[in-house]
Amino acid sequence: MKPFAAPVDDILFTLDQVAGAASLEEWDADLMREITQAFAAFAEGEIAPLDEVGDTQGCKLIDGRVQMPEGYKKLYADYAEQGWPSLTVPEEYDGQGLGGVALATVSEIFSGANHSLQMVTGLVPGAVRTLLDYGTDEQKSAYIPRMASGEWLSTMCLTEPGAGSDLGRIRARAVQDGDAWKITGEKIFISGGDQDMTDEIFHLVLARTGDADSGVKGLSLFICLSNQPDGTRNPITITRIEEKMGLHASPTCQMAFDDAPAELIGKEGEGLKAMFTMMNHARIDVALQGVAHATRAHDIAAAYCAERIQGRGADGQPVTLDYHADIKNMLGEMRALSLLGRAIAHVAIVELEKEEDPMLVEFLTPIAKHFCTESASRAADLGIQCLGGYGYLQEYRIEQVWRDARICRIYEGASGIHALTLSTRLLQGRTAEAADRFAAFTGANAPAGAVAEWTKAREAMAASADPSAKAADFMAISEWLLLRALAPRFDSHEAAPQIATYLKRTEHMGAVLSARICEA
């Protein structure tokens, strides 16, 4: 089985040559290489070897507490001791004060090495950012250093049995009790809702403070700690952990809050606004999870196909699998999907860090989340096909890549929801400026004919009485255009031929999608 190898050179190439990270004031190429290589060594040596253990053992719910797989507690302690949780925390709160680009490099490598553990640890940066944007000075000082040190981990508690994507149906209620609040209700699908790697968990909980019919305007955001000040457990019960097809070492918890003491963060009735700080961070993070899976699938498949003798060449001599055109095409597509997905995610991150064009970021984010996660499933599926029967077995673990990657298309907004966002909210009214900024960005880099096809589609969508009917097509043509804007930046990369072949094979899709969107 091919050991995990972090794609350090590809990551740094894309940041520098494709995403233009050098335009950031804080960009330091040497420092970024040092950070990326350091985490890569840790991931390859300590994190990745426990991925198979976690997949095999899974998590256990024992006497109401979650027990992580063997070795995970020590691994997390090593992770915290090396200072990785503090990477993007401001220095005034005991952090290293680095930006989102540094986090992106670490996050992708972490996901490729062990997506399950990355899920449990990966919500800390978003929780810190939420506190920085909406917390009081007292809340910031009390909580951020504990997460920076790794002493605490965090969760995001949104989903309920009757409220998945429709957050207006949330029923968990927060009631004021003097200067405090108490939360009662049920939350499901909470990643890391409990674990035994930290003694304390910082829960961010979305709960209703308005009346039952107040919709999203009646939601507020709360800090709810797993422990009370005297060290006893808060009245939060883990009622079950889900049995999942993948991510077995990430405890997905069903939680019951029973008058659990909580603190309001931000203003009452503005909970969804505050929570989106964490959700938007999470969506880019999920895009990078998709990139990590596509990359890992290609790495396993390419290594196998370079060694497996199968068939004979034109000269009659035995050849390896990657000699055959069908396998070569599949490997080339996997490589292109990995590189182009990373390019989209990195562009979105760099633009977000620059803080100069927020509406462009608004348009790029759903594209990044959609393309990267769909590409992960596609690449994993192609990888299984390349290995044939061995791909279907557990021996080479590419089937685990497929299983773990599948959730990326669902959580933090399913693919269809992001397509709907692009086709409705970002094409109409005040936020239509987002589409204008995307047009300007791609227009400066993509072929004029490609831009023209997308523009026709955009105009037809904006004029449509029901744009949702063609949302998937509009997402596809937006991705198609963006890839053509970014691909020339890979001209000096060794995989440029595979990217060119992939674009050539999909060249006709722009006209097809545009015609389909424009037809009555």
Please report the DSSP string for 341-388 in residue order. HHHHHHHHHHHHHHTS-HHHHHHHHHHHHHHHHHHHHHHHHHHHHHHT
Give the model's pLDDT for residue 440.
96
Rounded CA separation 334/39 (Å)? 25
Tens place of pLDDT per residue across the chain (520 aa): 799 999 999 999 999 999 999 999 989 999 999 999 999 999 999 999 999 999 999 999 999 999 999 999 999 999 999 999 999 999 999 999 999 999 999 999 999 999 999 999 999 999 999 999 999 999 999 999 999 999 999 999 999 998 777 777 899 999 998 888 999 999 999 999 999 999 999 999 999 998 878 888 899 999 999 998 888 899 999 999 999 999 999 999 999 999 999 999 999 999 988 887 777 778 999 999 999 999 999 999 999 999 999 999 999 999 999 999 999 999 999 999 999 999 999 999 999 999 999 999 999 999 999 999 999 999 999 999 999 999 999 999 999 999 999 999 999 899 999 999 999 888 877 788 999 999 999 999 999 999 999 999 999 999 999 999 999 999 999 999 999 999 999 999 999 999 999 999 999 999 999 999 999 7
Which among 18, 226, 2 is positioned nearest to 104, based on CA atoms?
A: 18
Q: Which residues contact 409 (CB under 8 A, 6 or more apart)?
A: 373, 374, 376, 377, 415
Give the model's pLDDT for residue 345.
97
Q: Provide the token pair at 215.
A: 């919709």
Q: Burial level of 172, CB count in 10 A (0-12/13-18/19+)?
A: buried
> At residue 188, what are phi and psi to the nearest 5 degrees?
-130, 165
Rounded CA separation 465/350 (Å)? 35
> At residue 353, what are phi and psi to the nearest 5 degrees?
-70, -30
109: amino acid identity, one letter: I
Which residues are designated catalytic?
412
Rounded CA separation 126/123 (Å)? 5
Q: What angle do CA 207, 210, 211 make, to 5 degrees?
A: 115
Q: Which residues contact 122 (CB under 8 A, 6 or more apart)?
A: 107, 110, 282, 285
Q: Provide the token pair at 19.
A: 């995403």
Q: Provide the token pair at 256.
A: 């019951």
Please report the DSSP string for 155-213 in residue order. EEE--BTTBSS-GGG---EEEEETTEEEEEEEEEEEETSS-SS-SEEEEEEEEE-S-TT
Rounded CA separation 503/490 (Å)? 12
Rounded CA separation 120/115 (Å)? 9
Q: Which residues contact 27 (CB under 8 A, 6 or more apart)?
A: 21, 101
Rounded CA separation 185/168 (Å)? 15
Secondary structure of residue 320 in the 3-state scheme: strand
